[in-house]
Amino acid sequence: MNILVTGGAGFIGSHIVDTYIREGHRVAVLDNLSTGKRERVHPDAKFYDMDLIDPEVKGIFEKEKIEAINHHAAQISVTQSVADPAFDAEINIVGSLKLLELAATYKVKKIVFASTGGALYGEQDYYPADEEHPTQPMSPYGIAKLTVERYLNYYRENFSIQPTILRYSNVYGPRQDPHGEAGVVAIFCKQLLKDQQPVIFGDGEQTRDFVSVFDVVNANLKALSENCQGTYNVGTSEETSVNAVTALLIKSSGKALSPQYNPPRMGEQRRSCIDYRKFNKDHGWQPTQVLDKGLKDTFDFFADSSRD
């Protein structure tokens, strides 16, 4: 299959590209390298350095005969979305809409969209949140993701596009960017490697559902199949406090450091945890990575990278 992966030089996207190519697919990557890195792009992928809103994007569809889209290109910082909602909307809403227009024009039938669970459900009514939980985003980032989901429903009804919406919890792992929702893991790793105290915003008892990037990649592989359509949570159904994650990373580092506590940031919810049972029931997906090992592997990745 000829697949376009937007954001394919980024943290999650680059891992997906590697796996798609390993599975025998032909992959084109669109990334403006604002947060992605060129060296992450698989050598067998065709690389296009451009923005989603660039008029030349249509040339990729013509040249590469795109049959499916995996859409990960985004402004990924909740904090940045709060600081500049218009910028967030231009990239995450308008950019996505232009991509969907091209998909309709070139009769692309399959789209996998990277959405969000934590930022979409907001302060949850129950834990873990399933896909039927009310969507009550507390940040422009979450609002934008929900808006694109609504557009995907429109294009499904009117252009026979088959969307698979994957609502991620907090993704962590090797190649992680420090700006995403789960960027706390990458930030803490880098602080520890510099012998700095990990900085926690708030009291550290806020919880998140941390899922490994390798489990997320497996979800994106399952999402390619023709019978995988609809909206699915991709998480672990387990809450872990920021304090607990910090303690595990400090243990991995082997350093005698303690966290520093700063005031909480606006736009971040207190608890977040999503239910993956629907995805498991329909398509057999479930998380397999154990958190303490995953965090240790992530720390080791950053340690190895710092020595390069």
How far is Cα 5 from Cα 14, in angstroms, rounded to an integer? 9
Query: How far does CA 137 lie from the centroid of its chain?
Result: 16
How far is Cα 59 from Cα 61, in angstroms, rounded to an integer? 5
How far is Cα 77 from Cα 10, in angstroms, rounded to an integer? 13
- Beta carbons of 217 and 151 less than 8 angstroms apart: no
Which residue in 141, 155, 172, 276 is the catalytic one?
Answer: 141
Active site residue 141: yes
- Beta carbons of 31 and 41 less than 8 angstroms apart: yes
Catalytic residues: 141
